[in-house]
Amino acid sequence: MAVLNMDMERARFNMIEQQIRPWQVLDPAVLDMLGEVRREDFVPEALKALAFADLELPIGNGQTMLQPKVEARVLQELAIRNTDIVLEVGTGSGYMAALLASQAEYVFSVEIDPVLAASAGRRLQQAGIVNVTVETGDASQGWSGPSPYDVIVISGSLPALPQVFLQQLKVGGRLVAFIGEPPVMEARLIVRTDEQAYKARNLFETVVMPLTSGQRSGFVF
């Protein structure tokens, strides 16, 4: 068991040094978080050996986890504060929710697949993370909850961003989404600068799995 733990720690260290830092993720708070939140606890048992690989890992029901370097860049760009209330759309394995919760005041994570939602909830509970609520539902057109939010993270790709997400962002709030369709998608950061204005910036090109949703309409950006 000690050898296995040592191997995991070495793999975690290598992930940070060989994948994360070269992607210009240098924020000490983000690097510390990636070292502390146990990614291997949020992957399927059969894939634990690949927990730190530079891959999108399958987590069941046709869904995947984002690559570690993508997760890390998103977290760095969002600059989460300990007073932030966060909405995550697409809980998946629960790992991103765990990362967000390690910095935010509270995270509301919504997953359309009830099996994945239940599994993520169990993993978060087992990890002792108490400032996350996992809800089952379709949040592809926004999620009222305690909106407006300080931060919104959409973990699957969308062809364009629904207007409702902009309305559910506080002034000063930050949103990251993956916008476009294969083979070209952009990770995009949007900041609400006042009641009527937003500032958008493309962060990097990528391709991620589409967000599972029950409907698609009213897109902007």
Q: How many domains is the chain partitioned into structurally?
A: 1
pTM: 0.92
Kindly report, residue by residue over 45-61, the tens digit of the pLDDT: 999 889 999 999 999 88
- Predicted local distance difference test score (pLDDT) of residue 218: 43
Asked whether 44 and 60 are in contact (CB, 8 A), the reply is yes
List for the chain the helix, strand, coil content (%; round to 5). Answer: 35, 30, 35
* CATH code (residue 145): 3.40.50.150
Question: Measuring CA to CA, how many Å separate 165 from each of 2, 22, 59, 90, 124?
Answer: 46, 31, 26, 14, 25
The domain in which residue 37 lies consists of 2-220
Kindly report, residue by residue over 186-218, the tens digit of the pLDDT: 999 999 999 999 999 999 999 888 898 755 444
What span, in angstroms and rounded, lies between the C-alpha atoms of 110 and 139?
6
Token code pair at residue 11: 């793999």
**Regions in the chain scoring below 70 on pLDDT:** 1-5, 214-221
- Predicted local distance difference test score (pLDDT) of residue 213: 74
